Amino acid sequence: MADTDIQDFVTRFAAAWAARDGEAFLALWHPEGRLHSPLYDRPVAGREMSRLTEIVREKAPDSVWQLLDWTARGDTVIIEWQNTRTAGGKRVDWRGVDKFRLRDGKILEERVYADTAPLRAAAKGEKLAPVIPL
């Protein structure tokens, strides 16, 4: 893919998050695409993105996603992001990385790598504790 195509993809992905626009997300996906994320109980088909966006909007109406950085090589794009939302009555910030494999400029596979511990602790009303205190 050309650098301009990759930049366009990243811009459209960030815009879809900013608008929380299910149709904009759906337009990014290849018909055979799959999303793998620790936030969901199963892989999500690309054709489900519009509905998934609705569910996320319902569960986390104040969620704010921010693009931090990105890089690419060939048809692989890596996006680093930060998300902020309220969970368990408290503001929670966490970061993650999405790795995309694109085909014809659309997402064939997305793998989300994120630490879900802050969300899990907030949802249970617990304080986030380090695994290894120093």
Establish if 102 belongs to a structural domain.
Answer: yes
The structure's pTM equals: 0.90
In this prediction, residues 101-110 reach a mean pLDDT of: 96
Establish if 111 belongs to a structural domain.
Answer: yes
- Map residue 117 onto helix, strand or coil: helix
Establish if 132 belongs to a structural domain.
Answer: no
Q: pLDDT at position 114, please?
A: 95
pLDDT over 90 percentage in the chain: 60
Q: pLDDT at position 77, please?
A: 98
Establish if 10 belongs to a structural domain.
Answer: yes
Q: What tokens appear for 106 in the block?
A: 């659309």
Establish if 78 belongs to a structural domain.
Answer: yes
Are residues 3 and 103 in contact, defined by beta-carbon separation less than 8 angstroms?
no
Q: How far is Cα 14 from Cα 6, in angstroms, rounded to an integer? A: 12
Are residues 104 and 123 in contact, defined by beta-carbon separation less than 8 angstroms?
no
Compute the mean pLDDT over every residue in the chain, rounded to the nearest whole number.
92
